[in-house]
Structure 1
Amino acid sequence: MASTLDQQALAAASAQHPKLQHITYTYGTAGFRTEADLLDSVMFRVGLLAVLRSKNLKGKAIGVMVTASHNPEKDNGVKLVDPMGEMLHGSWEPYATQLANAQTDDLLLAALDSIVKATGTDLSQPAHVVYGHDTRPSCKPLVRALVDGLSSATFGSEAPKVELVNAGLVTTPQLHYLVRCLNTADSPDPYGEPTIDGYYRKLAAAYTELSASRASGHKPSPFGLRGRELLPAITVDCANGVGAPKLKEFVKVIGTDYLPVIVVRDNTTTAGQLNLNCGADFVKTQQRAPLGVKPIAWQRYASFDGDADRIVYYYADADGVFHLLDGDKIATLAAGFIMDLVKDAGLDDKVKVGVVQTAYANGASTKYLTEVLGVPVTCVPTGVKHLHHAAESYDIGVYFEANGHGTVLFSPSTLAGIRSSLDSATSSPAADESQLAARTNLRALTELINQTVGDALSDMLLVETVLLHRQWTPAQWDRAYTDYPNRLVKVLVNDRHAFETTDAERKLVKPEGLQAKIDALCKEVDGGRSFVRPSGTEDCVRVYAEATTRQAADDLVNKAAYLVFDEAGGKGTRPASGFF
């Protein structure tokens, strides 16, 4: 290794971003995430780690996103993105935590040196980092701290200068897209043009193709009046976040003829509005429309979260009753449509479709997938990295968390097979028309879906595609199966790390004895199911319950939540009644 740590320069730079002594940081499912004014040193050190990670991978581009997604505006966070647009490899998460918690500049230097040695990183390698941020007011100073870290990570005068790409204001999935594009640009299978305009054009071209060749009775048919009458404008709540300006930019590219949209909750300039009484997390947990939005009966509504990587749909019936179409509903919609396309394309003997869920998945959705659609289902712990990895085991893996975060992965061999089958069908004069249409639509789907990470905009286009092809209203979509009533609440606790789970987070191991008491509560309720897991992003635990009736689910979640509060270190004042 020709280059070594420039200890004097690194120490001087680190001194400008001192570690807060009373804080312990943990790199979790969503990276680092806490109150924004606690993150200055973390941002600087993440910059150092991003450069090390890129050097370790021989100069491949690494992404850094400054965001706190659905968290309140006072919070912020940062996460790293690996070369193919996936989350930071789990083996490097402890290094992030190690750097963030080094108490002094000297200990930081020692930690850097140990990471270099442990990973066999050659500091003489080049480094390439692309970074972006969302709309939070705290992003500006935190990005400056990040850039200080990136710029300070020269690791000696002989090391190549770090190549930095400032993506600026972007959604989280757009940053993931850029990283993958940069790393595949010179490969036989480039993912796309590594610009935001390229992202828009890729999605627009795919959606336009799918819309203009809607499958009806196994025959392509133009996107015409009938489709538009059935799919009027969709109202999209952008959580007063980065999704608002980005959705508006996309609509300018594709045009309102193809995507008529009414954008609401698009205030990104007034302090305190981000995710406030709106957004995907609010709609999912509160099971009602954003504050001030009164759904028109039978019309389509959707909500993004603050960084636009989650989406949920919803509608109201003629009586004004709210109906949620969450990540489970999206997964079943997508899986059924893809299975039909695979069958119509004549590829069902070659392509295995599967769905990945977490413990939060509604039991009715799992039953529908396995018993009605005949789709294999894998259950994994909460967290995108777990779902993404499990989805890769299928030829086409559909994964969605109930909160609306998810996507569809196509294996490299499946992508090649779809292209090859389309080429052979196109060149054959005797090609079956319906089979050709299905293969064409499958190919377009692989371009429409952002396969790097959950993407609210891409997923919205996926849902709109299926509804258009099926000629379904949201109510028809909803009738595929009926969710078991459920509730999800948060309980503040003194130490969330005292809670340990097993069985894909469906059972508590610690605190000891608590799971048995929760099981006893469930046995008292018809169809009762409840579990408790520590949050990966907040200082709390989450309590989920479902049952065959709304009242039973509400009672069960309250009993389980109070049990956790009373026996496992509840924090603050115990609520007198109602939900936590």
Structure 2
Amino acid sequence: MAEFGEVSQKSTQHPKPKGLTLQYGTAGFRTTAKHLDHVMFRMGLLAALRSKKTKSTIGVMVTASHNPVEDNGVKLIDPMGEMVTPAWEGYATQLANAEQEALCTVLKNIMETDAISMSETANVFVGRDTRPSSESLTKAVIDGVSCLGGHNYGLVTTPQLHYMVRCRNTHDCYGTATLQGYYEKLSKAFIELTKNALNRTDDQKRLLVDGANGIGALKLREMEAFLKYELQVALFNDGSSGKLNHLCGADYVKVHQRAPEGMHMGPGERCCSFDGDADRIIYYYNDTAGRFRLLDGDKIATLISMSLKELLTQAGLNIQVAVVQTAYANGSATRYLKDVMKVTVCCTKTGVKHLHHAAQDFDIGVYFEANGHGTVLFSKEAEKQIRQLVKHSNANDEKKRAAKLLASTIDLINQATGDAISDMLVIEALLAIRGMSIQGWDTLYTDLPNRQLRVKVADRQVIDTTDAERHVVMPAGLQDAIDTLVKKYKQARAFVRPSGTEDIVRVYAEADTQNQGTYGRLKASTQSISNLVLAQHPQETR
């Protein structure tokens, strides 16, 4: 095939280091940027094949999200803006690890296995973040794509690329596949929603945003004019100085439980942080005593699902709302959703691709990881019922008003993937409509104290789990030892799970707040579980 001659020629410009092995994880490939040139070229090739197979536009995003600036990564985006299908994750790993002389053979095998016709047109959108390495790595992707066809979108957030892929593959029914189309759709919906909030002052419209020195800061600046002062953003860590994700960003705030560097917070001021590629968001504030208060993905899911359920009741619509969580969800959040709000709650494996898939099983599926990555999915039937009620001439005023609010909320949410900008606007609109302060939102429930540790291991695959990663199957005896520790504390829970991208084992534990000694014991117990993991693997070090 003529194309393979070009592949062979161009692949020599992106040679694979001998013996280097990488794994396509829960968020694609992610490692030190200097090891990724050949991977980028090959993911360009694979994206073109995926486009030919699905007869649709496929996305390739060059980013490492919350990782340090010296890292980078790449992931493929499927036709509806979702993560690439698992079978093609396997193809990605095969292709990335093929030695130079076997590259074309692996490509041919993929084509034969999936019956891909080279006569089909390839349409690929490529996006990148602001890392210094992203520009050259994007060129490597385009080299791969150009062997078989493609398009470069340039600087965009990860969610914006997901959005554009979905727009293109729905023939612009979901929205216009441009940055301006994205800004116009979201800002129009936000303004429609906030019209229903009475007497908002400038202070109530003010939001402090930490852009993590990343792409989200650039794109939020571009969007401000579209919002027409209905949201007044004070932007910090905007990329003008400082390193990407260094002492700032959603992951830093979540892990360290403190405000990012460079942000000056007054008591009660609403603040939020994006991560480096703007697909996560975390809210926080200082209370009147100066204590830092965090509102993570669990609190975001609670606010959104509560508001949607109330609007559905007001509209008289019998539509089910469900919340999808992972094992990292705080026990207090799960109990509040189940026992107070009476919504369906399900738990799935860590990784938004698992949550996204599970959320598709419900009329309205709200999913957020505790780290702030998430969105809301509406079934076609649920959306149809809501929009029909908006047009229904006989609906009473209260029902029609609720239906209009629901319809604008659908338009404001990026259903393709978790999106920090979209989620921020949803949260701001819902708080405004409810007349709720960030303190009021925070007091819906009180988180159980919890701890997380990382244990370095030689091979993360020696840990095998089940029950949405909440129970260890292998090595034998580890789960029994964890259970023995957990029984010592009230409302206690703990689990260990292998990382999806690194050779580390993650340890999580939580317990009650009923006496002063709990947190100290929790810290000691988490360390004890870490020691149990290491005891199973004496050759490994922290």
Q: Give 1:87 deviation, angstroms.
A: 0.6
The C-alpha deviation readout for 1:450-499, integer Å capped at 9, x for no partner, is 00000001101111111111111111101111110112222222111222
Q: Would you say the 8 A contact 1:135–1:268 is kept in 2?
A: no
Q: Give 1:570 deviation, angstroms.
A: 7.2
What is the rounded CA distance, in whole Å, between the counterparts of 1:318 and 1:184 in structure 2?
48
Q: Would you say the 8 A contact 1:61–1:182 is kept in 2?
A: yes
What does residue 523 of structure 2 align with? 554
Which of 482, 485, 491 lines up with 2:449 in the alignment? Answer: 485
**Is structure 2 residue 231 aligned with structure 1 residue 259?**
yes
What does residue 45 of structure 1 align with? 42
Aligned-partner SS, 1:231 = helix
Aligned-partner SS, 2:201 = helix
What does residue 516 of structure 2 align with? none
Cα RMSD after superposing both structures: 1.5
Task: List aligned pairs for 1:461-476, cutoff 5 A.
Answer: 461-476=425-440
What is the rounded CA distance, in whole Å, between the counterparts of 2:37 and 2:186 in structure 1?
36
What is the rounded CA distance, in whole Å, between the counterparts of 2:34 and 2:538 in structure 1?
27
What is the rounded CA distance, in whole Å, between the counterparts of 1:181 and 1:110 in structure 2?
34
TM-score, normalised by the number of residues in structure 1:
0.90
Which of 289, 294, 307 lines up with 2:277 in the alignment? Answer: 307
Aligned-partner SS, 1:136 = coil
What does residue 337 of structure 2 align with? 369
Task: List aligned pairs for 1:140-151, cutoff 5 A.
Answer: 140-151=135-146
The C-alpha deviation readout for 1:116-168, integer Å capped at 9, x for no partner, is 01111111111100000001001111111111111123xxxxxxxx2x22111
Q: Would you say the 8 A contact 2:312–2:402 is kept in 1?
A: yes
Q: Give 1:47 deviation, angstroms.
A: 0.5
**Is structure 2 residue 184 aligned with structure 1 residue 171?**
no
**Is structure 2 residue 189 aligned with structure 1 residue 206?**
yes
What does residue 414 of structure 1 align with? 382
What is the rounded CA distance, in whole Å, between the counterparts of 1:438 and 1:570 in structure 2?
60
Aligned-partner SS, 2:175 = coil
Q: Would you say the 8 A contact 1:41–1:145 is kept in 2?
A: yes
Q: Give 1:569 deviation, angstroms.
A: 5.2
Which of 90, 96, 99 lines up with 1:94 in the alignment? Answer: 90
Aligned partner letter, 1:563: L
Task: List aligned pairs for 1:284-433, cutoff 5 A.
Answer: 284-347=254-317, 349=318, 351-424=319-392, 427-428=393-394, 431-433=395-397
**Is structure 2 residue 5 aligned with structure 1 residue 8?**
yes
Aligned-partner SS, 2:458 = coil
What is the rounded CA distance, in whole Å, between the counterparts of 1:123 and 1:231 in structure 2?
56
Aligned-partner SS, 1:248 = helix
What does residue 168 of structure 2 align with? 182
**Is structure 2 residue 4 aligned with structure 1 residue 21?**
no
The C-alpha deviation readout for 1:478-533, integer Å capped at 9, x for no partner, is 11111101122222221112221111001122222222212222112222211111
Aligned partner letter, 2:177: P
What is the rounded CA distance, in whole Å, between the counterparts of 1:292 and 1:520 in structure 2?
44
What is the rounded CA distance, in whole Å, between the counterparts of 1:45 and 1:119 in structure 2?
17
Which of 236, 249, 252 lines up with 2:222 in the alignment? Answer: 249
Q: Give 1:433 deviation, angstroms.
A: 1.3
Which of 211, 214, 236 lines up with 1:238 in the alignment? Answer: 211
What is the rounded CA distance, in whole Å, between the counterparts of 1:269 and 1:152 in structure 2?
38
What is the rounded CA distance, in whole Å, between the counterparts of 1:213 and 1:249 in structure 2?
25
Q: Give 1:289 deviation, angstroms.
A: 1.4
What does residue 404 of structure 2 align with? 440
Q: Would you say the 8 A contact 1:492–1:570 is kept in 2?
A: no
Aligned partner letter, 2:257: Q
Q: Give 1:213 deviation, angstroms.
A: 2.2
Aligned partner letter, 2:105: A
Aligned-partner SS, 2:282 = strand
Q: 1:445 to 1:36 in 2, by over 3 A?
A: same
Q: Give 1:434 deviation, angstroms.
A: 1.2
Structure 2 unaligned runs (5+)? 514-518
Q: Would you say the 8 A contact 2:247–2:260 is kept in 1?
A: yes
Aligned-partner SS, 1:65 = strand
Q: 1:569 to 1:116 in 2, by over 3 A?
A: farther
Aligned partner letter, 2:224: V
The C-alpha deviation readout for 1:165-192, integer Å capped at 9, x for no partner, is 2111111000000101111126xxx010
Q: Would you say the 8 A contact 2:454–2:505 is kept in 1?
A: yes
What is the rounded CA distance, in whole Å, between the counterparts of 1:177 and 1:13 in structure 2?
30
**Is structure 2 residue 38 aligned with structure 1 residue 55?**
no
Q: Which moved further from structure 2: 487-496 or 28-37?
A: 487-496
What does residue 525 of structure 1 align with? 489
Aligned-partner SS, 1:442 = helix
Q: Give 1:285 deviation, angstroms.
A: 1.2
Q: Would you say the 8 A contact 2:3–2:147 is kept in 1?
A: no
Q: 1:570 to 1:469 in 2, by over 3 A?
A: farther
What does residue 67 of structure 1 align with? 63
What does residue 252 of structure 2 align with? 282
What is the rounded CA distance, in whole Å, between the counterparts of 2:2 and 2:335 in structure 1?
56
What is the rounded CA distance, in whole Å, between the counterparts of 1:468 and 1:293 in structure 2?
23
What is the rounded CA distance, in whole Å, between the counterparts of 1:103 and 1:452 in structure 2?
34
Structure 1 unaligned runs (5+)? 154-161, 215-222, 575-580
**Is structure 2 residue 30 aligned with structure 1 residue 33?**
yes
Q: How many residues matched?
A: 537
What is the rounded CA distance, in whole Å, between the counterparts of 2:450 and 2:343 in structure 1?
23
What is the rounded CA distance, in whole Å, between the counterparts of 1:288 and 1:18 in structure 2?
43
